[in-house]
Amino acid sequence: MTTLTLTKHHGLGNDFLVAFHPEVAVADLPALAQRLCDRRRGVGADGLLVGESEPGYAARMWLYNADGSRAEMSGNGIRCFAQALAARRGDLDPQRILTDAGDRTVSLDVTDRSDTILATVDMGPVEPLDEPTGWDALGCEPDRPVAHLSLGNPHSVVGVDDIAVVDLLALGRKVPDVNLEIVEPGEQRHEIRMRVHERGAGITEACGTGACASAFAAARWGLATPQDGKLVVHMDGGHATVTLDAPAPGRVTLTGPATYVATIEIVV
């Protein structure tokens, strides 16, 4: 047995454990993710982020969901990963991180809290997807706005009248292979509200890639109007800002906080 050091972080309540080079101690990373992310028998988290060295990059990031499945990308997760990497490096320089969804560049800024940074991520292009398996089981009304989109990982965004009354857990379980977002207008024209059922994790307090997909869809539908190219996405855990068509048409950037929670040592 050996000791593995982890750090825990959250992005608007979407929490992650970060481990650098855990394969030195553990061969079965999906099983490790299941064990650690269990909220009753483990540390508890929505996912495990694994950092590896990669030539030409600040690091390589792998993401395992709480159920042990692999995910291509997480907008909240990469901010948490960047915070952990910044602490490891001892600087707040921009980071070019390789993910299963491709390159992502993260810029970091200080906040008025020592445990929290503000991170801006170039999230890449938003691209259309075919509707996911089982979509018909949701029974969406034909005139309800729906968008199936990719940010390196799959999303289905649905415009609804009131996100508070939707049984999101039941709907999300019908389409387990996609991240399901429901959205409604916010208080201001440049704001929306969103809830999410995430693939491999269930209902979470926030989703960065989901915020990007929802903002992109809401702007295209006319549900919200960007202000200086930006939409504010309010989620259960707080809000993030999505800049549309940046740094190029069809691309988005995501800005939001990452908060350090604790350093944990476990025997594996």
What is the average pLDDT across 172-183? 96
Q: Which residues, other chains included, contact 16 with Cβ-Cβ below 8 Å and sequence gap of 6+?
A: 8, 9, 10, 45, 46, 47, 48, 49, 74, 76, 77, 80, 81
What is the average pLDDT across 183-190? 98
| pLDDT tens per residue, range 51-66 | 999 999 999 999 999 9
Residue 24 — very low, low, confident or very high, per pLDDT cuts 50/70/90? low
The residue length of the chain stands at 268
Q: What is the pLDDT of residue 1?
A: 73
What domains sit in the chain, N to C, each tagged with a CATH number? 3-123+256-267 (3.10.310.10), 127-255 (3.10.310.10)
What mean pLDDT, rounded, does the chain reach? 95
Over 70: is that where the pLDDT of 182 sits? yes
> What's the whole-model pTM score?
0.95
- Mean pLDDT lowest for which of 1-5, 49-53, 107-111, 258-262? 1-5
Chain centroid to Cα 149, Å, comes to 14
Burial status of residue 1 (CB atoms within 10 A of its CB: 0-12, 13-18, 19 or more) = exposed
What is the average pLDDT across 224-247? 96
| pLDDT tens per residue, range 72-101 | 999 999 999 999 999 999 999 999 999 999
Nearest to 72 by CA among 170, 168, 224, 178: 178
Using a pLDDT cut of 90, give the percent of the chain over it. 91
137: phi > 0 → left, psi -120 to 50 → alpha, else beta; which? alpha
| pLDDT tens per residue, range 115-162 | 999 999 999 999 999 999 999 999 888 899 999 999 999 999 999 999
Cα dist. 123→27, 87, 95, 173, 236 in Å? 30, 22, 13, 26, 21
Q: How far apart are CA 98 and CA 52, in angstroms?
A: 10
Residue 215 — very low, low, confident or very high, per pLDDT cuts 50/70/90? very high
